[in-house]
Amino acid sequence: MMKTENILVIGGTGKTGRRVAENLIQEGHNVRVVGRNTSPAFDWENPGTYDAALKDMDRAYIVYYPDLAVPGSREAITTLTEKALQAGLEKVVLLSGKGETEAEACEDIVANSGLNYTLVRASWFNQNFSEGAFLEFVLNGQVALPMPEAEIPFVDADDIADVVAKVLVDDRFNGETITVTGPRKMTFGEVVAAMAEGIGKDIHFHPITIEEFKAGMKQAGLPDSYVWLFGYLFQEVLGNPDNQEISHDVEKVLGRPATDFNTYVEKTVATGIWNQDLSHTV
Ligand SMILES: NC(=O)c1ccc[n+]([C@@H]2O[C@H](COP(=O)([O-])OP(=O)(O)OC[C@H]3O[C@@H](n4cnc5c(N)ncnc54)[C@H](OP(=O)(O)O)[C@@H]3O)[C@@H](O)[C@H]2O)c1
């Protein structure tokens, strides 16, 4: 029988953290989910909150927010891993971005921290269209995004969570970098067509430039750092075809194939998330 571990899930209310916590609880582990509104609270911006979150934990899933590519991430990850070592943690799993060279400095910090670790590099998530930045576009039936030619091996957050929950407690993956993608590459146009078909509603894809997308974000009042981040992710991650290769690591770790986008659409339709009507909101 597997040992019961005390596992910290940072970002445990988000797309992957929530699923990781559910999986670990189901496996019988003791899970502490933290974010800015939990008790104890954990705020990346306030290192004074790190100790209480780490206290008495054996392992941790680390989700940095908004992205390991933003300024300040290195200092935060350095402080967290130092404190984790002091607190006696054995192992951490860091969520990173596939093709994000800017995130590699943080990966190196974790790798050199003295803790056991596994790095999980994820492609763009399917759930960006149902729980993230692009949900509103889908609800409005108008998806305006740049990089229409990019072929993206979108990955399902359920697959990421299954992989993370497994490698967190399985020391055979110590020191490894696991790259998680979906089973096929899709353009934004293909993704939108698949959602339109599955939901049974008209959803239109409008290719725009990165500058137009950023201008729209600015107009919506989003902070400059966020606007910069999206520009970076479109340009550097989606703009480089080398980043788009399919990985078979989901199958390697889980012994089952990665989830297809059409399966994601089917299960998301069943949740009702896409039934919200935005026309009555102000
Ligand atoms: N979306 C993608 O396509 C994609 C692809 C590759 C990698 N990633 C990486 O995935 C990570 C995001 O993971 P996710 O999508 O699972 O999470 P998410 O859905 O974006 O949720 C963010 C989580 O972080 C918490 N959070 C926000 N600000 C925080 C702060 N200042 N201090 C502490 N916690 C904070 C949130 O909780 P509270 O708001 O309650 O604090 C929430 O639990 C990022 O590092 C991103 O680079 C994303």
CA of 1 to the centre of ligand 1 (A): 32
Candidate from 18, 37, 38, 63 with most ligand 1 atoms within 8 A of CB, to mutate: 63
- Among 234, 136, 146, which residue's Cα sits nearest to residue 189? 146
Mean pLDDT value across residues 131-141: 96
29-38, pLDDT tens digit by residue? 999 999 999 9
Task: For the chain, give every domain's residue range.
Answer: 6-125+155-182+242-259
Give pLDDT, residue 282: 46
DSSP code for 233? I
165-196, pLDDT tens digit by residue? 999 999 999 999 999 999 999 999 999 999 99
Q: Residue 44 pLDDT > 90, yes or no? A: yes
Give pLDDT, residue 115: 98
> Which residue, judged by its Cα, is nearest atom 15 of ligand 1?
15
224-233, pLDDT tens digit by residue? 999 999 999 9
Q: Residue 280 pLDDT > 70, yes or no? A: no
Span between the terminal Cα atoms of the chain, in Å: 53
Instruction: Please tell me the CATH superfamily of domain 6-125+155-182+242-259, with its number.
Output: NAD(P)-binding Rossmann-like Domain (3.40.50.720)
CA of 63 to the centre of ligand 1 (A): 6
Mean pLDDT value across residues 63-85: 97
Give pLDDT, residue 241: 87
Q: Residue 2 pLDDT > 90, yes or no? A: no
Q: CA–CA separation, 209 vs 74, rounded Å?
A: 30
Phi, psi of 120 (to 5 degrees): -120, 110
Around Cβ 23, how many Cβ atoms within 10 Å? 19
Q: Is 230 in the pocket of ligand 1 (CB under 6 A)?
A: no
Burial of residue 84, with CB atoms counted within 10 A of its CB: 0-12 exposed, 13-18 middle, 19 or more buried: buried
> Which residue, judged by its Cα, is nearest atom 37 of ligand 1?
35
Candidate from 44, 54, 65, 225 with most ligand 1 atoms within 8 A of CB, to mutate: 65
Mean pLDDT value across residues 74-96: 98
CA of 186 to the centre of ligand 1 (A): 24
